[in-house]
Structure 1
Amino acid sequence: MILTGFNEAMDFLFLGLLVFSVFCFVDAILRREDAYRAADKNTKQFWLILLGIGAAINLFVGGGFLLLTIIAVIADIVYMVDVRPALIRVTGSGGGRYRGSSSDGPYGPYNGGR
């Protein structure tokens, strides 16, 4: 009875890791090639191969070989906390929020009282 609950929890964990891995892979696909070079974060091809292999491992192996799953998750985490923010900084796209200009005030652009 306890093992059944534990197995179900592990299934949900590995499903979450698969979704996370696929999200990282799709996000890497959607980023521009020159942004990787401008951010000095290897190449787009490198990250697509690494994240694609990680997604395949999570899809086909799952929890069967835990070491490969851990390596794939580490690659996903590195992409999310290091590479993706650098790409967003370089391209200025991401987050979906309007950033405005440095002269914008709370009610729109400040034009010096003109």
Structure 2
Amino acid sequence: MPDVDTGVGLVMLLVHFAVIVVSIFAFVVSLTYSPQAYDAAGKWTKQGWTIVLGLGALLSVIGIGLPFFISLAFLIAALVFLADVRPALAGLRRR
């Protein structure tokens, strides 16, 4: 019978790796748009998003021992950026 702790540890490691990838991707994408695009889309400022997403990416990379709720908060911020802000900013480029 497989060891449950090993399986749970592997799943948590994979989840943590996914959080790192999503956080870094959201941070890099946030850097590609101009501050004026954020204003035109009616979203939070570029500086605000890049600080939150950069901090989330940095802490997810170096902070494997972070409390779960902090990692979850930064993951939610990255997902909100990717699901709401990024499409609004991308829509401005197509026009």
TM over 0.5: yes
Are 1:40 and 2:42 counterparts? yes
Gaps of 5+ in 1: 94-114
SS in 2 for 1:42: coil
- The letter for the 2-side match of 1:69 is S
| CA root-mean-square deviation | 1.4
Q: How far did 1:63 drift?
A: 5.0
Bigger RCO of structures 1 and 2 (CA < 8 A, at least 6 apart): 2
Mean Cα deviation higher: 22-31 or 55-64: 55-64
CA distance in 1, matches of 2:42, 2:65: 33
Q: TM-score, normalised by structure 2?
A: 0.90
Equivalent residue runs for 1:6-45 within 5 Å: 6-45=8-47
Identity over aligned pairs, percent: 34
Equivalent residue runs for 1:78-93 within 5 Å: 78-92=80-94
Q: How far did 1:62 drift?
A: 2.9
Q: TM-score, normalised by structure 1?
A: 0.76
- Aligned 8 A contact 1:14 1:63 in 2: no
Paired residues, what number?
Answer: 93
Q: Which has the larger radius of gyration?
A: 1
